[in-house]
Structure 1
């Protein structure tokens, strides 16, 4: 293993996280069923005014699992550039989605699901964000707790 790059400052990590949220297209989404069965799937997303907007079929386990508690965990990146987001998700029907949000999703992902009843949007409000690359960034990896940025 090579020597890691110097640890980034918390401010740089937040900047990098926000850049990823603005530019990445897919995120891993982890939920659990009522009886604890885990589900992990990649979904496309758009960073929409401080929340992540995703879409899935309403019958998929991810949408079904969101209903009881709203708790989700999201992950961007690979094992050497991790962004973990703990959040609360709510289901938003396409007919109830604000026009600006639907337009942003359709423009970024070239995919417009409004008016397609088999699909729902999931709006995830981050409650916690952690980011690190190597062991030297484990200390100070918490960038957001209880929905408030620490930096």
Structure 2
């Protein structure tokens, strides 16, 4: 029988989620076309002033799908340590990105898509953030609602 860790309190869950957002490089990003066709891809990101900043080719389904609804889901971690973010995505052209954001992306991830016409940035503003490890953390997993931290 596997012993599970005790459930974390909300403050610890929030801190662990923020640590992942600062330290992780990659996330799974889900969008859907206007017809409802889902697309799930891994993308590198930087946590940039309370938003996720990612980059992809402008013709990839992830970027194209931002136009119909702007809704996106992002997950960090594995199945036994999940951070699930639901939010609104917007396309940001490299020329419109602040130097601070572009420099942060390039420094963290080791490449810079600014000035590459085939690439765009996606900025995802979280509306909800949930975090849990095991079944014992399902209750109270919601840490953010309406873009406001509950903790």
Q: Count residues with an aligned counterpart.
A: 151
Q: CA RMSD in A?
A: 0.6
Q: Which residues of 2 match residues 127-138 of structure 1 at below 5 A? A: 127-138=127-138
1:114 aligns with 2:114: yes
1:56 aligns with 2:37: no
Determine the structure 2 residue equivalent to 1:143.
Answer: 143
Q: Which runs of 5+ in 1 are unaligned?
A: none
Q: Distance in 2 between matches of 1:60 and 1:23?
A: 26
3-state DSSP of counterpart to 2:7: coil
Q: Which runs of 5+ in 2 are unaligned?
A: none
1:58-115: per-residue Cα shift (whole Å, max 9, x none)?
A: 0000000011111000000111001100010000000000000000000000010101
Determine the structure 2 residue equivalent to 1:94.
Answer: 94
Q: Distance in 2 between matches of 1:114 and 1:67?
A: 21
Q: Which residues of 2 match residues 23-102 of structure 1 at below 5 A? A: 23-102=23-102
3-state DSSP of counterpart to 1:8: coil
3-state DSSP of counterpart to 2:102: helix
> 1:3 Cα shift?
2.1
1:116-136: per-residue Cα shift (whole Å, max 9, x none)?
A: 010000000000000000000
Q: Runs of 4 or more off by more than 3 Å in structure 1?
A: none
